[in-house]
Structures are given as structure tokens and as C-alpha cells.
Amino acid sequence: MNAIEVEGLRKEYGPVAAIDGLDLRVEAGTTYALLGPNGAGKTTTIEVLEGLRDRDAGTVSVLGIDPAIDPVGLHRRVGVMLQEGGLPPGAKVGEVLAMFTAFHTDPVDATDLLALVGLSEARRTLVRRLSGGQRQRLSLAVALVGRPELVFLDEPTAGMDPVARRATWGIIQRLNHEGVTVVLTTHYLEEAEHLADRVGIVAHGRLLAEGTPTELVAASGKVRFTTERPVETSGLADLLGAAVATVDERSFEVDLEATPGVMATIARWAEVAGVLLTELRAGAAGLEEVFIAVTSPDQDGDAV
């Protein structure tokens, strides 16, 4: 069952297509990370899904609701955490939560929420005196106060120290365990790799790559290997029929699909050369490398 289904989504601002025929599926109870460089169309896409912005074309279903037709009905069932929380600076933390709990028929207890996000001791602190990370945690509490089925998190850990970031990751994982769907945008690629069940990478309003973090890393189309000592690789290049690029004096990569034959050829070459392979793997070094490769200006925009 999908919590979100999008087909052919398009949004234009004058001659510019911020979203250009985007298709998207988010399974209920999972975490989906929507990644992309600044100006890629992430924010516009999320605002359409939240019912905060109209679309020019395409179909959108969020929890079975078209946000353009019934935004009020949708807002009762979702939580939204904005990067800039829009919190009243002159109000106290406890007052902010009290205000938002009044909007819901079955809100989470404010004391419990403050404990969850680590702000119990800041209940009487003015919002304007909170650090950036504390304001993010308060925004998260506001997003969760109505027991949402789906939560949109925009840069949820921006400004947080490492301890608070890890604690927030734990909250997001807890939401998943409770069946809540989470859609997040983040510039911390480690965060997406750690939390997301699936990742979508957008640029120029189009979805260029999608899959689990493991699938995206493995599909990068390169084989990486490291040797125990520096070694000459020209013989291996002849065996593979492809160039062997030197990353450093003991690390190399080959721009070939990681088929069993390719991996076996590298292993046999190392045996004959009398050199120990300390690493032999398929794919990129991590999601960040995939992101850079997919969104770099010299890419043609084909989907992965």
C-alpha cells in the first residue's frame, strides 16, 4: 500500500518548469528521502504533496486524498516540519506546544513530546532564545503533536549537534516502527543513507535515480579494489579490456559493471601477480558519491 502516489507532476513558474513530469511512489510505513541540489524542485514537490501549492498537471494522491481537492482533510492526518519553523519568537516553548495541541482532537501530551525531543528543561524558554538545533527539535514536536499518519520533514537535523542529530534519527526510526510514513529532505547524505528505506534523487524537476541506498550505491557502474602494496595494473587492463584508474597508490577503479566474470578476473590477476586484495567491491563509495555523479552538470538526465 502506498501512502503517496504521484504521476506526471508538473509545476511551472513562467517559462521555468520547477517540476517536469515527476512520478513518485512512497510505501506506507517507510522512510523516503527526496534528495537534490538547490533548485532541483524538492521544495515545490513537497509543497504540492502537503497541499500548500497548486500543480499545473499530473495526479497526486496522499493518504488517498488529492491535496488540491481536500487540503483540510489531508492536514488533519499529516505533520509538517519546515526548515524554517515559523514559530512565534516571543512565545515560550510550552506555550507553542499548548497552542498546537488545541488544534487536534487527540493530541500527544505536551510533556511527553518535550521529553521525546529533549526540551523538557526549556519549557519556559522563549523561542527566540533557543539555539538553531533546539528550534528544529521544537518544530519536530509540533509536527508530531497530532499523531500524524504521514510526516514531512524538511532538513530535520539542520543546526543540531551530533548527539541531538542521532537522537532525532532515533525518533524517526521509532515513527517507522509505529507505522508512520516519513518523507524527508536533507543535505546530509549520511542521514539519508542511515534512515531511508528508499531514496529519490531529483534535478531539474525530474527524478533521475531511485532505489534503496544499497541499490543506488551498487548501481554506480564501477568496480573498486585495493591492494596490500602498490602494483602495476596494465596487465589487468588488458585482461578486462578497460582502463584501470588509479585512485591512490593502492586503490583502483574500473568503469565496468560488476559481473561475476569481471570480479573473478580481478581476483585471478591478483593471484598471478602475487598481490593481496584487501578490498574488492562493486559500486560507489557511498550515497554521496552517487548523488554527485547523478546530479553533476555533465550528466544527460537519464533516469537510473
Domain 221-282 has CATH 3.30.70: yes
| Angle, in degrees to the nearest 10, between helices 132-144 and 162-177 | 10
**Domain coordinates in residue numbering, the chain:** 2-216, 221-282
Instruction: Determine the CATH number of domain 2-216.
Output: 3.40.50.300
Q: Contact 200/32 with Cβ under 8 angstroms?
A: yes
pLDDT at 290: 86
Take residue 35 and report the three cell numbers written for it. 534528495
Written as nine digits, the cell of 208 is 533521475
CA distance 208 to 292: 12
- Which three-class secondary structure state does DSSP give residue 80? strand
Which pLDDT score, from 0 to 100, does residue 301 have? 43
Over pLDDT 90: what percentage of the chain?
A: 77
pTM exceeds 0.85: no
Query: Is 149 in contact with 4 (CB distance < 8 Å)?
Result: no
Crossing angle for the helix pair 93-101 and 132-144, to the nearest 10 degrees: 20
Looking at residue 193, its amino acid is E
Q: Which residues partner with 151 through β-bridges? A: 79, 182
Return d(Cα 292, Cα 171) in angstroms, integer. Answer: 28
d(CA 301, CA 304): 9
Q: Please, what sign has the CA dihedral across residues 209, 215, 219, 224?
A: positive
The residues of the chain scoring below 70 in pLDDT are: 83-85, 220-221, 284-285, 297-304
Helix or strand run (H / E) with residue 211: strand 206-211
pLDDT of residue 258: 80
pLDDT of residue 274: 95
